[in-house]
Structures are given as C-alpha cells and as structure tokens.
Structure 1
Amino acid sequence: MLLTMPHFNGSQVLVVGDVMLDRYWTGGTSRISPEAPVPVVKVDQIEDRAGGAGNVALNIAALGAGASLIGIVGNDEAGEALRTRLQAANVHTDFQVVDNKPTITKLRVMSRHQQLLRMDFEQAFAAEDSSEFVHKAEQLIPHVGALILSDYAKGSLANIQPLIAIANKHKVPVLVDPKGTHFEAYAGATLLTPNLHEFEAVVGECATEQALVEKGVALLKKLRLQALLVTRGEQGMTLLREGQPELHLPARAREVYDVTGAGDTVISVLAASLAAGEPLPNAVALANLAAGIVVGKLGTATVSAPELRRAVKADQGSERGVLNEEQLLLALEEARAAGEKIVFTNGCFDIIHAGHVGYLEDTRALGDRLIVAINSDESVSKLKGPGRPINPVDRRMAVLAGLEAVDWVTSFNDDTPERLLKLIKPDVLVKGGDYTTDQVVGHEIVRAYGGDVRVLSFFENVSTTAIVKKIQSQEKE
C-alpha cells in the first residue's frame, strides 16, 4: 500500500481513561551505599511526563491533531503538574477531581539509561469517581472524529458501555486499548488493540498464524467489533476484519528498544488517522511506522508529525522487517502478485562489517526484494564452534533489518537453508565468497524450477572470524 501523510490538523480526537504522572529522577552512580548494597544515585535531573491516557493525548497533539482528555486526578500537586504539562502541549483537559485519592504517580529512578527503581503512588478508582464522565463525553463526542478508551485497569473506565453507546449513536469510531481478560466490557466498540499476551489470555494460545486469525475472527463476532488489531512486538501487528483477509505488518527494528508507551502511540496514530479520513489499513500501517519510531526512544515518548512524515517518505508503503516463516510466505504472495523478483541469501551474519554491507547492497540489486535468512544460535555453534555466535539471533536479525538493502529477515534452525529454499523458491539464490555456483548449497533446488544462482565477492576482504580473532588476541596482550 502507498502511504501518504494525513492532514492531522483538521482532525479532533477525544481520549477517556486512566491518566497518570510519570516522574523521572535521573543522575549518575559511582558508589554503593554504606547503608545497604544498593547504588547511590546523585539526582541532577527531575522530569515529569504525562502517562497512561495522558500520553495517548500527548501523542495525538504531537501529530498536530486536536486532543481532548477526560480522566480522574487527585486534589494534589501531582494532578496540577499533570494538568499543566498537558495544557502546555495543547491538550484540552477536563478532569474529575477527587479529594480522597491521589493522582496516580509512577516515580522512576534512572541512571546510565537504566531504570534502577520504580515506586507507584496510587489507589484504584471506584465507579463514583468517574460519575461525571458520561456527561462530559456527551458534550464532546459529537465534535470529534474518533474516541479512544484508554484502559489501564485503574478504575476510571468502570462504566464504559454508556461511552461506547454515545459514540455509536453519533457514528464516531471507538478505539479501545484493553486491559485484563474481561473484553466483554468493550462489546460494540469499533476496534480493539490488544497485545499478543492480552489476546492469548482471552482466546487461548495461538500456535500458528491460522489459529490467531480464526480465534480473532471469532472474538470479533462475539463482541460485535468491526476490527481487531493484535500488536505482536518483534513480530509486528496483525489487523483482522470479518469477511476480509488479514493484514500483517512486520515490526521495524531500532537501535534502542524500549516498548514503554508504544501501545499508546499505536492507538493514537490509529485514531488520529481515522479522524483525518484515512482508511483503516492505511491507519494501521501509519501506526506501525510510528511504533517503530517510539521504541527507539527511552521511556514514555511521543512521535511528532515531522518524524512520522520522514518515516512515511522513507517507507513509501514497503513492508519490511523481521518475519517468521508463515509471515514471510504471506508477504511473498503479495510480492509475487505484484510481479516482484525475489532474491535470497543466507549466512551467520554474526558481526556485521563493511564486507557484509557491500555484499548485501550488490545482492539486493539483482532483484526487487531481498530475503536474508540467518542461522539460529544453535546452528551457528555447530558451524563455527564454541563461543559463537557473539550476538544472539534476535540482535543479528535486528541489525540486518535496519539495513536499507534488506527487505525481510528470517532465521532457520537447520544446518543448511535447503528446506527454506524449497518453501520460498526465490528467483535468485546468492552466496558470497570464493565458490563456483555448483558449490552453493541449494543450487540444484533453485535451478530445478528455473531460478538463477549467483556468487558475489565480499567487500574489503574482511570476515567475522578474522575480527573475532583480532579482538581475542588484543584481549590477551
């Protein structure tokens, strides 16, 4: 699909749910406390951020869309700090203030980009604490293009069905970020966005792609939903709609991986895109791009419109990333339907060096899509011996997926890629090194159906083994 940047500045989104304040105390650590075996953090930076439904609203505002927020806060300093930061970001806040409970606050102590401690200040809210929500929502829903119900199981959405009914009455899409296993509470919503763990906790384990689709469609019917978006971490996300084929989008790897707030970003971009008039598949693709950006940031974070615009421009609708075998086969069906030429190469790719990069660029030039299949950790150990791989398979795949030349990355446990070649049937099989084409593993498989086999030279005359030996020799000196 070809993506374009939506006109967010003309859209309005209402967020209702659990708001909280995320506090960060950050500083250096250079010694252990004499009082207990814990590090001493010399705090030199204190930062407050909006969390929960507040972070959802911030994400919407960061895109340039209009954001309104209904939630519960205590009559305290934390509640005022939360309101101040949200309003400074152009979020319209309409809070119900309670006197007998604190604003939900999560205090994190940070050092060297690591979280050392988290302290939570909270009491669960009761139904009476959100008694004004329905009245507040009735005033705002007729004027928005989407409603988000952001549920963190803190009690703010104890009375959720009237909110869904009001939105349905005004034909406003209702998007729910669910919590817990009682999905019946969200019946009649437009779209649910559970992560895979939450989804399987409700429908049971999904051992295959087919099982996930079948159980997801059954849940759609049971809850009278229009769509279900299952976010799957490193496996991307899957959109399910009754009577339509599933849509899978692979995850986008980033150098720093922190999933804090990624779900907030996904539902925010989804809602803002729908409010701006985007079709649901396009909105999901945009949300997937945004999730790939936000996991590259530390802590709860937002994605700005310029960041998303750059990602859209770079992507141009190309669905790339780390895939399992089932997902890869589905992606190949679409690629072949579009007449694209598939190129395949494989290897350990333990430490990516300049030779690999140049080789992969030349390999990619032989077709329209490049698949890189890498040996599993067990397979590398068999081939290279004890101590290898240096980097585990998930890290090796993440680095390869970040290279511009690579479209899809997958892994295999076998000693050779022959089984994969029989499944994938690439148009071109490529191997790097000093081989003849008849020495390339799997050459007879590819040639049997009319495919091409090529051998390319590595650049720079370097190898991972040589790099490892050099490092080891320097450590001994």
Structure 2
Amino acid sequence: MKLNFSDAKILVVGDVMLDQYWSGSAQRISPEAPVPVVKINNDETRLGGAANVALNLKALGAHVALASVIGKDDAGSQIQTLLQQHGIQTYFSFSSQPTIRKLRILSRHQQLIRMDFEETLALSSAQSFAEAVIKMLGQFDLVIFSDYAKGCLADVQRMIQACNLAGVTSFIDPKGDCYQKYAGATLIKPNQAEFCQIAGAFSDDEQLSAKARNLMDSLNISHLLITRSEEGMALFSPQQEPYFLATQAQDVYDVTGAGDTVIATIGAAYANGYSLKDALHFANIAAGIVVAKVGTATASLVELSDKLQQTQRHQGYVAPSKEELRQLIQQAQQQGQKIVFTNGCFDILHSGHVRYLDEAAKQGDKLVIAVNTDESVQILKGPTRPIIPLQSRMELLASLSCVDWVIPFSEETPRDLICYLQPDVLVKGGDYQPHEIAGCDCVWERGGEVKILSFWDGFSTTKIVERIQASLQETP
C-alpha cells in the first residue's frame, strides 16, 4: 500500500516544550551522595509536546502548522529555530512566562533523571490565544489539540465549538481529570490509565465498552480511542462494534513521545481519507517504530511504508468490513496491481488448501479469500460443521504468506460480494466450468478473468473428519 498523507491541511494546537538530552558515561558513584556521576559528552535538543506532534505529522509528509504559546527566552527561540529547520509553519503567541523545558540525563540509553522547568500559563493568556486560533480554523481540514495540562488549552472548549461551526474535524490528546472541556470533539484519545481516572476501573472488555459508551454519550463525542500499552488500542464509534487492535511485539527502548506519534498518525490518515480502522493500523506500526528509538522521536513516511509492506508481506489482513476491503482493493488497483478472489469454507486447513491458495496467489498480485460463516457452513456441510469456528479459520488463512486479505460472507454464494469488491481475477478449484462460478458475470463485465485451478485429489476436510471418527471408534 502506497501511503499519502499530503492532501489535507492539519493544525496542531497545544503546549510546546523544549526537550533537552544530556548524555554520557556513568562509571562511578559520587562521593557526595549515593548517585551516579555522569560525564556529559553529548548535548541534544529536540521538540517536545505539541511541537513533537507537528514534527511527527511533517515526517509523515502531511501539510502541518503549529499554534502555541512560548516565552520570550532562549528556549522559545530554539523551538522556533528547530521548527523552521523542519519547514513547519508556526502561529505563536508570546507570554511573559518562561518556555517549558524538560532536561533528561542519560547514560547508555537509560534515563537517570528528568528535570522540568515550567510554569502554568495564565488564564488570560490562554483566552487570548484561543481567540487567535479561532480566527484561523477555516484554513484547515483537521485540528489536533495536544493537551499537556500546562495552560495553553485552558479555553479549549471554545475552540472545539468553533471547529464544529466551521465544519473542521477535531482530535484531542487529553490530560487531567476534567473531560467536560473536550465535549463535542470528533475524537478523544486517552490512554488506559487516563480513561480509568475519568470513567472508573474495569475488569473485562464488556465493562470497558459500557464505560466507553457512557463517556461518549456524556461528552457528545463521535469517537473514543483508548491506547492500552501492550494490550493495543480500543476504538469506539457510534452504531459500530468496538474495534480492538493488538499491539505489535518489538523491543522497547523509550516510550517518550509514543502518544504524540499515535495521535499524529491517526490524524494524518483520517484527514486524508483513510478510515479510522486503517488509521489505527498505521498508528500501531508507527508507535512500534518510535518506541524502538531513544528519546522524543518520529516515524517517517518511508519507515512506516516499509514496515507496513513487511507486515502485509508476512501476514494477511482480516478485513472488518467489505467497505474497508473495497478501499484497500481500489488503492492496490490504482497502483496497477491485479486482485485475485476465491472463496470457500476452509474448515480444518490442510495441504490441499495450501497448494490451491498458493496457485491462486500466482494469478495476480493480491489474493482475497472470502470465507463462509459458521451458519453458512452448516447449511452446506451439515449440523456438525464447521469443526473450526469462523474467526480461527480466518486467522489461520491470514497467516499464510500467499494470502493478503480475508473477509467473511454469509450469503448462499459470494456473488454480491464479488460484484461489490470488483476483483480482476476470479478463481475456483475443482471440476467447474467458468460460467458456473458465482460472480463470473461481474468479473467478465469489467474485463476480468475467471480461472479454474487444479483439483488436488486425496485432500478433503470431510475425509479427514471421517478418518478421525473412524479412529475414535476403533480405539478401545
């Protein structure tokens, strides 16, 4: 999938800070106190807070601007210089209070101590800043409010209302224990600890879902995304089932700024027309890239695209809806790729299935498998089938290197699904004639191909089941 995040204009609004990293070797303990002595040999300065969100968006190729409040001091000047170097447009208001700095001392990539230099922004300054932001909202497609509870977004409710009046999407990375100020936003992204602080603890996904729905109703927000560390993410949207996305396993060196990467990637993707579920998938991968780096970091478009390609190369994707799958297929076709479609029950995956699917995949660039639901398998095979439930069958198929996308269907035939997805090649194994295959008319109508593939004699789920039953009967 070739990613493009450059078609929309995004504004980041929130608290900015200067992240400083002093690093060196720590080879002895101080004689003055039981603390390590670090001999500093490297001094690095990076953008933090909302500025890091903007930097993440820029790294992804998005058109981004940043609005914030800084002090008239050296730290503020350094922030402006760094943003200019990265080509990020800025709208700064200036305060008599100092620019926020966070100084981290590291040795061998391990953080030993962090020192914060900050003062909460005066309310009058925050209100003046909000007025300035409201005047520029019409220039943008999406606004990300990055709240670090330093005072810059004390008047965020007025800015959210202005977004709604202007028809501008608003995403919130929240902070604190008062979420009413975020009411009316398009999406709010707390982490799990922040969510529990607001909504209360939960013991299972059912309780989590109930509390999430209650919070959405009380705040009148369209979407709630909860990041759950090693448990992944949970997305809640109106009239849709909760979407739980597992995190990817990787080495973790530093989680600093990972939340900035998530909100930036989701915002970039959504503003450019990708679905929220696709956006979560991208953000999950981008966060994995960032936590493998030390300090406040970003994931570039090249890194994300490469990682996404690796993921899709080694494991297929179980599409949650035909609408999302159609979008993926259309994107692939626009890149000149040929889409192959096949379908079946695939109950008790065996070598006959694998040989057939490998041959099917060679008919094009991407292979889509439509899998019969459990109810439709019962109609076709009898009340004792399937042996393997639908979700497990789809996950097994998706794990095959030759498979790209898997989706369930419950109809008697997959014809309607084929006509909707519009693949380039329709394949089926066995002794069929092309005109007997469901959906052939839709494929031919588009100038596509219908192919009959090899039938691998001696491989059958039914025969496997019969042998197992016979073996059990023979067992004394």
Q: Which residue of 1 aligns with 2:335?
A: none
Contact 1:250–1:319 (Cα < 8 Å) also in 2: no
- Number of the residue aligned with 2:428: none
Using the TM superposition, give the Cα deviation of residue 208 of structure 1 relative to its aligned residue in structure 2, in angstroms: 0.8
Q: For residue 279 of structure 1, report the CA deviation from its aligned partner.
A: 2.1
Q: Give the C-alpha shift of residue 315 in structure 1.
A: 2.5
Matched, 1:180 2:176: yes
* Counterpart position of 1:134: 130
1:426 & 1:452 partners in 2: Cα distance?
A: 22
The aligned counterpart of 1:19 is: 16
**Structure 2 match to 1:43:** 40
Please report how far the alpha carbon of residue 275 of structure 1 lies from its aligned counterpart in structure 2 after TM superposition.
Answer: 1.8
1:105 aligns to 2:96 (yes or no): no
Query: Given the superposition, is the C-alpha separation of residues 316 and 276 from structure 1 closer, same or farther in structure 2, using an over 3 Å criterion?
Result: same
In 2, the alpha carbon distance for the partners of 1:271 and 1:55 equals 14
Instruction: Pick closer, same or farther for the CA change 1:174–1:255 going to 2, 3 Å.
Output: same
User: Could you tell me which of 80, 100, 109 is aligned with 2:77?
Assistant: 80
Q: Does 1:10 align with 2:16?
A: no
* Alignment partners' CA distance in 2, 1:106 and 1:139: 31
Task: Write the letter of the residue equivalent to 1:301.
Answer: A
- Structure 1 residue 207: deviation in Å? 0.8
1:34 paired to 2:27? no
Letter in 1 for 2:87: N
Structure 1 residues 132, 5: closer, same or farther in 2, change over 3 A?
A: farther
Distance in 2 (alpha carbons) for counterparts of 1:319 and 1:12? 33
The residue type equivalent to 1:150 in the other structure is S
Higher Cα Rg: structure 1 or 2?
2
Instruction: Output the CA distance in 2 between the equivalents of 1:12 and 1:246.
Output: 29
**Counterpart check, 1:280 vs 2:273:** no
Q: Note the C-alpha offset of 1:424.
A: 10
Mapped to 2, the partners of 1:56 and 1:39 lie a distance apart of 33
1:303-382 equivalent positions in 2, closer than 5 A = 303-316=299-312
> Partner residue of 2:206?
210
**1:63 corresponds to 2:66:** no
Partner of 2:111: 115
Q: Which residue does 1:148 correspond to in 2?
A: 144
Provide the alpha-carbon RMSD of the alignment: 3.5
Pick closer, same or farther for the CA change 1:340–1:11 going to 2, 3 Å. Answer: farther
Residues 215 and 26 (structure 1), Cα distance of their counterparts in 2 relative to 1, 3 Å cut: same
Asked if 2 retains the 8 angstrom alpha-carbon contact of 1:5 and 1:312, the reply is no
The offset of 1:181, in angstroms, is: 1.7
Match of 1:223 in 2: 219
* TM-score, with length taken from structure 1: 0.67
Contact 1:55 1:300 in 2 (8 A): yes
Change (3 A) 1:195 1:452: farther
- Give the Cα separation in 1 of the matches to 2:252 and 2:281: 21
C-alpha distance in 1 between matches for 2:238 and 2:283: 21
Give the number of equivalent residue pairs.
353
Q: 1:267 aligned to 2:263?
A: yes
CA contact (8 A) 2:348 2:388 kept: no
How far apart are residue 367 of structure 1 and its match? 12
Alignment-mate amino acid for residue 96 of structure 1: S
1:193-208 counterparts in 2 under 5 A? 193-208=189-204
Identical pairs, percent: 42
Going from structure 1 to structure 2, the CA distance change for 1:32 and 1:318 (only over 3 Å counts) comes to: same
Provide the residue aligned with 1:378 in structure 2: none
**Judging changes above 3 Å, is the alpha-carbon distance between structure 1 residues 69 and 319 closer, same or farther for their aligned structure 2 residues?**
farther
- Which residues of structure 1 form unaligned runs of 5+? 322-327, 332-337, 345-361, 369-420, 430-446, 454-477
Match of 1:255 in 2: 251
Q: Distance in 2 between the 1:319 and 1:143 partners?
A: 40
Structure 1 counterpart of 2:45, one-letter code: D
Retained in 1: the 8 A contact 2:3–2:305? no
Q: Is the 8 A contact 1:57 1:268 kept in 2?
A: yes
Matching residue of 2:90: 93
TM-score, with length taken from structure 2: 0.67
Q: Which amino acid aligns with 2:186?
A: T
